[in-house]
């Protein structure tokens, strides 16, 4: 079969597929087409062809536009660009309809569930498709410029005009140089304070540096500056290692090729303009530490760049002068269509994606550039303080929105509840309020740092016990013990899987609340519950990542009364 790469042809676009594309057919092959809408007649250019029954293409010309098409709101993610905004050219209503169609198809194909799906905005967000992201992750290219990844590539596009971040999140980031090959994590916390943390380069980051090194030869001083700058940095320890999506659990943010990170990810902020409450100075001004010899890292408003304070070098894992011996490095669905795609290309893609994720979440030194590196967050009147590089829901309203659905639990005072993949315990805190002091809530999370953050935030709830352990082992150890009334679980993007669900359903909880950000993994998990005798009582889907193909689903499952 001939390689179709760079060839162009006309196709009529079919339904959306899982991954931010529409499915089309040309000369007997399936074509996954980005930047188009169902029903449109378009001209496409093939961007990837590994043989077999399918290839990938971008729309290069709209011949018959859909009535749902609008001017694209993201200038970075068009054909050949980044993967940050899959649907920025569709109305908000059309975006949600596309996601609903994908969720319904995955449930039908993978779980045997026929259900009409309605994707709704995060509470209070309306139809806004920009200004929602409070967690961002950027890559740094070989010249020291921050940017996002090109779609399905490690190339860095040094263009920060994506509309997802909340206002002010990226102010000044493009005006300075960063360590080549590093990553930047930017978090805007619940107090409006911006935290910027630079993660030291991984092996993949070093490859980014080596691909274009001419700038070093033309500017010999650049490399020496970066080697010598570490003496003046505030080294805050290693990245939080975790593959969970709950508060405190994993790095999150915008990466050009679909991070979510979460839950997708990629796994994604802007300061709301508040000053730090210590004498009116902003947190950025109060902790402005940067490498010596580099441009000033941050300033507020119209302030001119000044000479930052030289910060002492902290040991890995040290925060606020306290050594943390547990500091570790921190955390996809498949595309579906009517035909079976070839096994070999998909297997290669999965291995490649796994390698990229492993490199991203490997243990890495962190350097706090602005803020304290400790983000303050609020849910249901409670206050958490978590690592800025740890996970918190990317959408500013998501944590509150999801936690409100804990009312599904139906718990009474004195009940027993479990919270699996609990992160810093946002859901666990709501469960604890329901069962009261006569009840008990057991929460488990593999990231010790997240458990420590949750324990500190929830120390007044003595009947809530947070455990640092692998969920699989923890659940298995409790087989034959007291049955929980309710279990809430929010597993990583790949889902809980058959081992966890088999052990969980063996404990015989009356209700299970399952959360997922990948429609395919979510549907597979629901199919496992169904096989274990549970039925789907309710399902809510949220547009937690506007303009992207990602969607958050929350299911309530019940055990039939006869069992």
Residue in 74, 162, 401, 517 annotated catalytic: 517
Residue 346: helix, strand or coil by DSSP?
A: helix
Cβ count near 2 (within 10 Å):
7
Q: What is the CA radius of gyration of the chain?
A: 23
**Orientation of helix 497-506 relative to helix 519-531, angle to 10°:** 40
β-pairing, 146-149 with 156-157?
A: antiparallel
Strand ranges, E, within 65-152: 119-121, 135-140, 146-149
d(CA 524, CA 328): 30
183-188 β-sheet, strand order: 156-157, 146-149, 135-140, 183-188, 194-199, 365-370, 234-238
What torsion do the CA atoms of 124, 130, 132, 135 make, to the nearest 10 degrees? Answer: 170
What torsion do the CA atoms of 232, 138, 199, 215 make, to the nearest 10 degrees? Answer: -60
| Residue 421 marked as a ligand binder | yes
| Residue 175 marked as a ligand binder | no
| Residue 86 marked as a ligand binder | no
Strand ranges, E, within 400-551: 416-420, 440-445, 464-468, 486-489, 511-516, 535-543
Backbone dihedral region for residue 124 (phi beyond 0: left; psi -120 to 50: alpha; all else: beta): left
Closest C-alpha to 47, from 78, 91, 90? 78
Known catalytic membership, residue 55: no
For residue 86, the number of C-alpha atoms closer than 13 Å in the C-beta half-sphere is: 28
Q: Let me know the angle formed at the C-alpha of 487 by 486 and 490, rounded to the nearest 5 degrees.
A: 150
d(CA 151, CA 155): 9
Q: What distance separates the 2 farthest-apart alpha carbons in the chain?
A: 76
List the beta bridge partners of residue 21. 17
d(CA 503, CA 236): 38
| Residue 490 marked as a ligand binder | yes
- For 219-315, where are the alpha helices, taking DSSP H only? 220-228, 283-286
Which residues are identified as catalytic? 517
Q: Which residues are annotated as a binding site for S-adenosyl-L-methionine?
A: 393, 421, 445, 490
């Amino acid at each position: 079969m001939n390689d179709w790469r760079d060839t162009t042809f006309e196709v009529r676009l079919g339904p959306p597929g899982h991954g931010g594309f529409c499915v089309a057919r040309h000369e007997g092959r399936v074509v996954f087409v980005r930047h188009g809408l169902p029903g449109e007649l378009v001209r496409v250019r093939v961007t990837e062809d590994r043989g077999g029954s399918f290839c990938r293409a971008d729309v290069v010309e709209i011949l018959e536009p859909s009535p749902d098409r609008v001017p694209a709101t993201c200038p970075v993610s068009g054909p050949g660009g980044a993967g940050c905004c899959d649907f920025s050219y569709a109305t908000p209503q059309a975006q949600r309809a596309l996601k609903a169609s994908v969720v319904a198809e995955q449930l039908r194909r993978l779980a045997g569930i026929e259900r009409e799906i309605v994707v709704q905005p995060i509470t209070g967000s309306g139809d806004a498709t920009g200004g929602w992201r409070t967690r961002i992750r950027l890559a740094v290219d070989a010249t020291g410029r921050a940017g996002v990844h090109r779609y399905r590539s490690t190339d860095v596009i040094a263009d920060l005009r994506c509309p997802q971040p909340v206002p002010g999140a990226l102010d000044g980031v493009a005006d300075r140089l960063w360590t080549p090959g590093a990553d930047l994590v930017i978090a805007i916390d619940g107090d409006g304070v911006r935290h910027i943390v630079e993660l030291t380069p991984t092996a993949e980051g070093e490859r980014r540096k080596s691909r274009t090194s001419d700038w070093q030869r033309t500017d010999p001083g650049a490399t020496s500056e970066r080697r010598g700058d570490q003496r003046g940095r505030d080294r805050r320890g290693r990245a939080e290692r975790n593959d969970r999506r709950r508060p405190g659990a994993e790095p999150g943010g915008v990466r050009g090729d679909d991070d979510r990170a979460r839950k997708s990810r990629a796994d994604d902020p802007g300061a709301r303009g508040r000053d730090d409450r210590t004498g009116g100075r902003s947190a950025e001004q109060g902790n402005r530490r940067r490498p010596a010899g580099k441009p000033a890292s941050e300033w507020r408003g119209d302030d001119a760049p000044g000479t930052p304070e030289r910060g002492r070098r902290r040991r890995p894992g040290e925060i606020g002068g306290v050594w943390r011996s547990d500091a570790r490095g921190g955390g996809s669905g498949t595309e579906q269509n009517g035909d079976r795609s070839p096994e070999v290309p998909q297997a290669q893609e999965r291995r490649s994606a796994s390698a990229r994720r492993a490199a991203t979440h490997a243990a890495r030194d962190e350097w706090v550039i602005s803020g304290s590196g400790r983000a303050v967050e609020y849910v249901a009147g409670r206050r958490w303080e978590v690592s800025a590089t740890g996970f918190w829901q990317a959408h500013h309203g998501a944590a509150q929105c999801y936690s409100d659905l804990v009312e599904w639990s139906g718990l009474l005072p004195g009940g027993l509840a479990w919270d699996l993949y609990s992160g810093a315990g946002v859901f666990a805190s709501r469960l604890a309020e329901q069962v009261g002091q006569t009840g008990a809530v057991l929460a488990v999370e593999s990231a010790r740092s997240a458990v420590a953050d949750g324990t500190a935030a929830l120390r007044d709830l003595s009947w809530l016990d947070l455990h640092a352990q692998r969920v699989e082992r923890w659940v298995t150890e409790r087989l034959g013990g007291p049955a929980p009334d309710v279990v809430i679980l929010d597993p990583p993007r790949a889902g809980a899987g058959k081992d966890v669900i088999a052990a969980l359903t063996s404990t015989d909880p009356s209700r299970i609340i399952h959360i997922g950000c990948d429609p395919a993994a979510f549907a597979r998990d629901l199919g496992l519950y169904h096989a274990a005798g549970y039925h789907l009582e309710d399902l809510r889907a949220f547009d937690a990542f506007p303009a992207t193909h990602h969607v958050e689903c929350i299911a309530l499952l019940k055990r039939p009364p006869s069992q």
